[in-house]
Chain A
């Protein structure tokens, strides 16, 4: 009762990185609250799946293993969470802000009339004083996210409703094994008790999942282009520089929306979060959603012809110039000096 729960997403029988990141964060929140961390894993053929999650400091793993639970469909997974939460009454539930988490989370929160905050960029524990009601709440989950097109950062709380639910994108939290030998309890549930047969009403008839074409998330150097690149051809220049520096190319939402770059390279709140040692922002103004996805980069270089671009305020180096002028020079002088 009153514990922190993490819904673990699966591809086949492998727990997704985003879920392991949330277990790491969930462990810290549980420590702060003085409660336990529990994980939910639902899929097919899950013998031994607990070995993937226990090292992150999980005290209890709820395993739901049945043929119809993979590939994911909404209703069976929603029933598992709704019915389990009615029994266990968690205070917090975290899930990935993935296609699955964003499909499942709202469904569960609606059934339990609990609040849900999407795409949080930070989670903290804190108190809240409701002056009107003369009430003080301790140990609430602060769900922090950019809002209103990124022009503000809002801290959201759910004072009265449990569980406090939040989704977080992959890469936002750090994944860290707590103890390879961490001991936790494994509970294998009878799926039929939680999921009525009528829930298996949506059928997946065809499914193609491809491994990512690039390693943007793990790249030590990222070169990102914004709307200021002007065109798809403008991005060719960035790929050329990336080839020289052994870097990956990313893009801002504006550049992706304009069709300059593929969607899977989008960096920011609604894309990939990156932590490279070097980040070169080319023609990116620096909306907060973009900043949210790259602010932890080691060194940030901003190439922009607008000296007042917001990204310049977090950059270590600001190059005032057009991308057409500066990028070819970077390629030229890298070639000249690197040998």
Chain B
């Protein structure tokens, strides 16, 4: 017996390393200045999926991501680490999606993939921090969910049950759920294994359709080795309803965006000299701020 595992992963701008040129002069975000990375918690999820594959021989790990053509990088990064394949959902109709429209798109793609036992993704993405897409995908597919997972402890394929250790506020909990199920994984879970050199060699030329230049070097390779073609899906390919995708499928709208400019208070600037620090401490003691 083996497991069919789908990993939901997202390419995100690296908001943790925002440089000085990250905002344009007009106050909008300069996306070009932010490197695109594999969402960190999705890597934790990938690791849990790969561990299941290690312990349940014959299992398959399939990545599913949504984004522009360059998001094929997410699939490649998964292949380098031991995933078996992946799909990139890419279509202008998906653009501007909030979490609900995103989960609709992902759920329709999961249905298109067809058979699955475990759908696993990171708890949340660093560009939105909402943690909504996992539970919403579960709801759309009519599956149970286990969020904030720390570790998959056991999968009983005969009983179709999975045991997961998860974080709750102020503690931990061990829960048992049915298969198939949706799981979201915390950043504190085991880090993802590094790329495997042999797999990098095997897949480094894997490309999505949009990434392929007019004249691909080694063009014949892509016919001989079908695994080098990263499958792209449009709304139509997954039989999606465009009204439920992207901006039109999003109940939430952004009314206003405010660039961060802190209101300057009147502040006293001191040096780190003995006199300045002592005067400050004396002042705080005098007005009973510290006792």
Residues of A within 8 A of B (CB): 71, 73-75, 78, 98-100, 102-107, 109-111, 113-119, 128, 142-143, 147-161, 201-212, 221, 245-246, 254, 257, 263, 269-270, 277-278, 286, 288, 291, 298-299, 301, 303, 307, 310, 312-322, 325-326, 329-330, 333-334, 336-338
Contact = CB atoms under 8 A, between A and B. Distances in A.
Contact of B285 (A269, A322, A337): A337
Interface stretch (B51-59, B136-144, B215-223): B136-144
Contacts of A212: 170
B258 A149 contact: no
A269 to B, nearest CB: 8
Interface in B151-207: 163, 167-178, 188
A329 B277 contact: yes
B1 interface: no
Given A207-B173, A317-B270, 12 more contacts: A106-B134, A107-B145, A109-B100, A115-B252, A118-B131, A155-B255, A158-B251, A209-B169, A278-B290, A303-B272, A318-B270, A320-B269
Given A75-B144, A106-B99, A111-B139, A313 B262 contact: yes
Contacts of A288: 260
Given A107-B138, A313-B265, A326-B272, A114 B251 contact: yes
A155 B174 contact: no
A201 B177 contact: yes
A77 B39 CA distance: 30
A286 to B, nearest CB: 8
B165 to A, nearest CB: 9
B18 to A, nearest CB: 6
B146 A317 contact: no
B87 interface: no
B278 interface: yes
A303 B271 CA distance: 9
Contacts, number: 249
A159 B277 contact: no
Contacts of A207: 168, 171-174
Contacts of B175: 73, 202-205
B178 A154 contact: no
B129 A118 contact: yes
Contact of B16 (A105, A149, A154): A149
Contact of A299 (B251, B259, B289): B289
A149 B178 CA distance: 35
Nearest to A313: B262
A209 B176 contact: no
Contacts of A303: 272
B148 interface: yes
Contact of B256 (A154, A312, A313): A154
A161 B145 CA distance: 25
Given A201-B178, A334-B290, A337-B281, A317 B135 contact: no
Nearest to A322: B272
A169 B265 CA distance: 26
B188 A263 contact: yes
A320 B271 CA distance: 5
Given A329-B272, A337-B282, A158 B129 contact: no
B241 interface: no
A318 B178 contact: no
A315 B267 contact: yes
A150 B22 CA distance: 12
A330 B281 contact: yes
Contact of B168 (A111, A154, A209, A329): A209
A71 B173 contact: yes
Contacts of A154: 254, 256-258
Contacts of B146: 202
A319 B277 contact: yes
Contacts of B36: none
A329 B274 contact: yes
Contacts of A157: 252-253, 255
Given A206-B174, A330-B277, A99 B168 contact: yes
B115 interface: no
B267 A318 contact: yes
A221 B147 CA distance: 34
Contact of B281 (A98, A109, A211, A333): A333
B23 interface: yes
